[in-house]
Structure 1
Amino acid sequence: MSVKVAMIGFGGVGQSFAEIVNEKQKELQQKYGLEVEIVAVSDVKKGAVYQSDGLNIPKLLDCVRRTGSLENYPETSQTIKGWSSLETIEQSNADVIIEVTYTDVKTGEPALTHCHRAFDTGKSVITTNKGPVALAYKELIEKAEDNEVFFGFEGTVMSGTPALRLPSETLAGNEIREIKGVLNGTTNYILTAMEEGMEFNQALEKAQALGYAEADPTSDLEGYDVRYKAAILSNHVFGVPLDPKDIFCAGITGLTAHDINEAAACDEKWKLLARIRQGNGVVTASVQPERIKNDDLLAGIMGATNAIVYECDLSGPIMLTGSGAGLKETGFSLLIDLIHCHKRKELSKT
């Protein structure tokens, strides 16, 4: 039996996921008994195409990359074009909705509505969008459970680096007392460049030229991106909902070359850190620049790399490091969740 997938959003991440599925088809079948069929794609700018017996992935990617549109995808008697995202969710024969739209993190839309509609129609959801998970974690988890479907969001914190699956599975049995991390590659790249002698504005311009920073880098520089990730970690690891607005947040825009040099003279480095602490049934979180000693586990995390440390009562501190961004890495995070979705479905049959 194949897993039928509908993709809502088909930008760089969605296309990378399709590319990975196409490359790994034989391996997925042999290792996991997983055959993936992409039956639908709906993108607000590129259009939509649905074929109940599965789309041809190479033709799909070629069409989008040549023309920027799905309008010229070759049609058969079963092809339907032009569905909206909600029509695709409701009317396609997909088992799993891959939700990778451009979403307003402050409202969670349109991804939040897409998640609700998919669960309402008995479909699983896998997303890389932070907004819905940070803003409506408990509601969405409960709705997925009530409808006996899967909700995957591994890519929301560290892209293809499994920062969420590690504590829930590999570290099971530990009491995790604190989570701290460098969870934004843009700011870490800038701080590393400043350590190497650049001024803040120079480092930002270089980060933008390399594609690490957006044209409007406010969300990264002011720590807002990390604040949403901290809310997700609190929800998922500690089971305690934190409203992102209630998490203390300060960015790196106030740091100067003098600050960086002063820290270096004391064998310290500046890092933009997320901290989520649990104690006496209370969870607190903060996002802010901190001076840490050079022998701290996170001090050696340089450039656009991300890292997270779980302070555990039994195993001690466990650090996971990897890319926190990138199209292929984020596409891989979708595959991680899809494999686990498939495994869970197979287990339920036994």
Structure 2
Amino acid sequence: MPHKLALIGFGTVGQGFAEILIEKNDILREEEGIDLSVVAISDQMKGSIYHPDGLNLQLALETIRNTGTLNDYPDTPGLIRGWNSFETIENSNADTIVEITYTDVQTGQPAIEHCRRAFQRGKHVVTSNKGPVALAYQELSALAKERGVQWGIEGTVMSGTPALRMPRVSLAGSEIKEIRGILNGTSNYILTRMEEGLTYEEALQIAQELGYAEADPTSDVEGYDAVYKVLILARIVMDESLTCQQVVRKGISRLSPADLQKASQEGKRWKMLAEIKKEKEGLRAFVSPVKLPLEDPLAGISGAANAITYVSDLMGPVTLIGSGAGRRETGFSLLIDLINMERGNL
């Protein structure tokens, strides 16, 4: 029986995920015994299509590329158009909802409600959306457990790089005492270019031209994006809750090339660092520019790359480096959650 998926959101990540499914489906069937079938796609801007027997993903991608809307997807017997995201979740025959809508880090909506409705209907969820995990993990995980369904969230911190699976699986049995990371590629790219002598404004402009930074870069450069990843790491890896207000936050916009040059002369390098540390009073957490000594593994992370160091009682520091964003990288995070769901390892 095919594992039936409904994609809620069909932007960059959704289309990247669809491309991966087309590319890997034969291998998944042959090597993993997994047959993934997309039965529904619902996107607020691009339209909605559903067929209980499955959609032609290649045709859906071509339709979007040619016309920008799913409304031009060819009619076939049994095809249903026009369902909104909640109708798709509640009325489709999908086993798993792939929630990949835009992340509203202030409210977590509508993604939180998407997950809630899916769990209430007895459907699994995989998502790369930070909002539900950062803001409603306790409620949603309890609801998923109550309804006997699974929730895949690997892509919420470092895209397809296994920043959550590694400590939970490979470092199981050890106590994680500290987490330090470069969790935002945009700010890291800007700092890398500023080291070359560019001003903050010049580096930001290039980052925007390359697609690393949004037109409004506030979430990235002022640390809000990394704060929500800190909340997720605290909850998932350290099993403790933090609020946004408990994370000390400072952005990079006030740094100058002179600041970076001075650090270089001191044998150090500025990095936008996220840190969580266990102390007697509880967790201490911050997101802020920090001057790191060059021998620190995180100091050598350049460009838009991400990295995270876990400090445990049995292994000491273990550093994981990889991509923290990207259409295929984030699409891969969704695929690996689905594979582990099928294996019973999620």
TM-score of the two chains, using structure 1 as the length reference: 0.97
Read off the aligned partner of 1:201 and give its amino acid letter.
E
The alignment yields a C-alpha RMSD, in angstroms, of 1.2
Quote the Cα distance in structure 2 between the aligned partners of 1:72 and 1:299. Answer: 49
Alignment of structure 1 residues 326-341 onto 2, 5 Å: 326-341=326-341
Deviations 1:10-39 (A, max 9, x none): 011001101101100111112221100000
The equivalent of 1:144 in structure 2 is 144
Read off the aligned partner of 2:146 and give its amino acid letter.
D
Alignment of structure 1 residues 82-121 onto 2, 5 Å: 82-121=82-121
Decide whether the 8 Å contact of 1:138 with 1:241 is kept in 2: no
Decide whether the 8 Å contact of 1:269 with 1:294 is kept in 2: yes
Shift of 1:157: 0.6
The equivalent of 1:42 in structure 2 is 42
The equivalent of 1:299 in structure 2 is 299
The equivalent of 2:289 in structure 1 is 289
Read off the aligned partner of 1:263 and give its amino acid letter.
A
Decide whether the 8 Å contact of 1:277 with 1:283 is kept in 2: yes
The equivalent of 1:6 in structure 2 is 6
Decide whether the 8 Å contact of 1:179 with 1:276 is kept in 2: yes
Decide whether the 8 Å contact of 1:16 with 1:327 is kept in 2: yes
The equivalent of 1:66 in structure 2 is 66
Quote the Cα distance in structure 1 between the aligned partners of 2:66 and 2:323. Answer: 29
Off by >6 Å, runs of 4+ in structure 1: none
Quote the Cα distance in structure 1 between the aligned partners of 2:224 and 2:118. Answer: 28
Quote the Cα distance in structure 1 between the aligned partners of 2:116 and 2:254. Answer: 40
Read off the aligned partner of 1:124 and give its amino acid letter.
H
Secondary structure of the residue aligned to 1:172 is coil
Secondary structure of the residue aligned to 1:259 is helix
Secondary structure of the residue aligned to 1:272 is strand
Read off the aligned partner of 1:210 and give its amino acid letter.
L
Secondary structure of the residue aligned to 2:253 is coil
The equivalent of 2:21 in structure 1 is 21
The equivalent of 2:217 in structure 1 is 217
Quote the Cα distance in structure 1 between the aligned partners of 2:201 and 2:251. Answer: 14
The equivalent of 2:201 in structure 1 is 201
| Match status 1:243 vs 2:213 | no
Secondary structure of the residue aligned to 2:14 is helix
Secondary structure of the residue aligned to 1:181 is strand
The equivalent of 2:134 in structure 1 is 134
Alignment of structure 1 residues 221-236 onto 2, 5 Å: 221-236=221-236
Secondary structure of the residue aligned to 1:295 is coil
The equivalent of 2:173 in structure 1 is 173
Decide whether the 8 Å contact of 1:311 with 1:318 is kept in 2: yes
Unpaired runs of 5+ in structure 1? none
Decide whether the 8 Å contact of 1:234 with 1:276 is kept in 2: yes
Quote the Cα distance in structure 1 between the aligned partners of 2:327 and 2:19. Answer: 11
The equivalent of 1:275 in structure 2 is 275
Secondary structure of the residue aligned to 1:71 is helix
Quote the Cα distance in structure 2 between the aligned partners of 1:281 and 1:94. Answer: 45
Read off the aligned partner of 1:191 and give its amino acid letter.
L
Quote the Cα distance in structure 2 between the aligned partners of 1:303 and 1:12. Answer: 21
Quote the Cα distance in structure 2 between the aligned partners of 1:287 and 1:10. Answer: 31
Secondary structure of the residue aligned to 1:299 is helix
In the alignment of these two chains, the number of paired residues is 346
TM-score of the two chains, using structure 2 as the length reference: 0.98
Quote the Cα distance in structure 1 between the aligned partners of 2:44 and 2:245. Answer: 29
Shift of 1:314: 1.2
Deviations 1:146-198 (A, max 9, x none): 11111111111111111010110111111111000000001101111111111
Secondary structure of the residue aligned to 2:298 is coil
